[in-house]
Amino acid sequence: MTRIIMHGCNGKMGQVISRIVEDDKDAVIVAGIDVNDNIANPYPVFTDMNSIDVEGDVIIDFSTAKAVPSLIDYAKSKKLPVVLCTTGLNDEQLNIVNEASKEIAILLSANMSLGVNLLLNLVKKAAKTLTAANFDIEIIEKHHNQKIDAPSGTALAFADSINESLNNEYSYTYDRTIVKAKRDSKEIGIHSVRGGTIVGEHSIIFAGKDEVVELNHNALSKDIFGVGAVNAAKFLSQKSKGMYDMQNVIEGN
C-alpha cells in the first residue's frame, strides 16, 4: 500500500487524484496539504505541512511554482520522495529541485500522460529527419482559461526534447510581435492559446517546402495526468535519491 501526501489537494488536479486513489486498493492518501481548506476530503488536510502528524511514503505535488521550494525543504527534512507535477518553475526553483535530488528521489514531469511521454520520443526522430530537409518547427499549445503559466510545461518539454536531438542548436521564440524579421532557420516558435475548459492540446508542426507534418496530442480528461501521477508515486516510493521522469515509470527502471 503506497501512502500518499497530496500537496495542492484542493485544486483541480488534487481532487482528480483524490477520486482516482479512492478506487485504488494499492494506494491511499493519508494527508493533504493546501492553503485553501474549504473542501471536505476523506483524509486530514493541513494548511501548514509542518503540522502533519501521519506517516507517508511519497508526496504528489500539483500546486503552484512558488510553493515548490518550501515543499522541497519539507520533503528533504522527512526524506520523502516527491512526484513534482507543477509547471512554470523558474531557473532558481529548478535549481533547488535539482540540488534536492542529491538527497531524495524526485520525479519531475510537466506531463504525466502516456501519450505525451511517447510523443516526447517520437518528435526526436521527426526533428532529425525533417530539419535535415530544412523544415521549420513550431509548437502550439492550448489550455483552459484558469492556467497561470505560459507556455505550458509540456510545450517546453517538446521543445527541449527536439533541441536535444539537434545538438541544442535551436533557440526558442515566444512572441513574434517584438521581432520584425523573418524567422531564423534554427528557432522553435512556441505559441499559447488560453480559453474555456480546454484540458490540454499540443501540436508540433514541421513545415517544409510544399509539405507539413503535424504531431498532435489531445487530452480529453484530466484523469490521464492523475493516473500517471499515481503510477509515478507507486514507482518513486521504492526509489532512492536521484532525478527521475515518466520514461523511468513507463520502462520500469
Ligand X SMILES: NC(=O)c1ccc[n+]([C@@H]2O[C@H](COP(=O)([O-])OP(=O)(O)OC[C@H]3O[C@@H](n4cnc5c(N)ncnc54)[C@H](O)[C@@H]3O)[C@@H](O)[C@H]2O)c1
Residue with the CB atom nearest ligand X in the bound state: 11
Q: Is 154 marked as a binding-site residue?
A: yes
Q: CB 71 → ligand LLHOTIJI: shortest distance, Å?
A: 17
Helix (H, G, I), strand (E, B) or coil at 110: coil
How far apart are alpha carbons 145 and 169 in whole angstroms?
33
Phi-psi region of 78 (alpha: psi -120 to 50; beta: other; left: phi over 0): alpha
Q: CB 110 → ligand LLHOTIJI: shortest distance, Å?
A: 5
Q: CB 126 → ligand LLHOTIJI: shortest distance, Å?
A: 20
Q: Please return the burial class of 145, using the count of CB atoms within 10 Å of its CB with bins 0-12, 13-18 and 19+.
A: exposed
C-alpha cell at 199: 484540458
Residue count, binding to ligand LLHOTIJI (CB under 6 A): 9
Query: Is 16 among the residues that bind ligand LLHOTIJI (CB under 6 A)?
Result: no
Return the number of the residue (110 or 139) whose C-beta is nearest ligand X.
110
Q: CB 197 → ligand LLHOTIJI: shortest distance, Å?
A: 10
Query: Is 63 among the residues that bind ligand LLHOTIJI (CB under 6 A)?
Result: no
Which residue among the candidates 7, 142, 143, 191 is catalytic per the annotation? 143
Q: Is 9 marked as a binding-site residue?
A: yes
Count, residues in the chain? 253
Helix (H, G, I), strand (E, B) or coil at 108: strand
Amino acid identity of residue 164, one-letter, is E
Q: In what order do the strands lie in the sheet containing 82-84? A: 45-46, 27-33, 2-7, 58-61, 82-84, 105-108, 242-244
Peptide bond preceding 151 in cis form (omega within 30 of 0): yes
Query: Is 109 among the residues that bind ligand LLHOTIJI (CB under 6 A)?
Result: no
Helix (H, G, I), strand (E, B) or coil at 94: helix
Query: Is 18 among the residues that bind ligand LLHOTIJI (CB under 6 A)?
Result: no
Return the number of the residue (95 or 171) whose C-beta is nearest ligand X.
95
Query: Is 110 among the residues that bind ligand LLHOTIJI (CB under 6 A)?
Result: yes
Q: Is 125 marked as a binding-site residue?
A: no
Query: Is 143 among the residues that bind ligand LLHOTIJI (CB under 6 A)?
Result: yes
Which residue among the candidates 76, 78, 147, 239 is catalytic per the annotation? 147
How far apart are alpha carbons 89 and 61 in whole angstroms?
13
Active site residue 143: yes
| 63 membership: H or E segment, kind and range | none
Q: CB 251 → ligand X: shortest distance, Å?
A: 18
Binding mask 192-211 for ligand LLHOTIJI (x = CB under 6 A): --------x-----------
> Looking at the annotation, which residues are catalytic?
143, 147
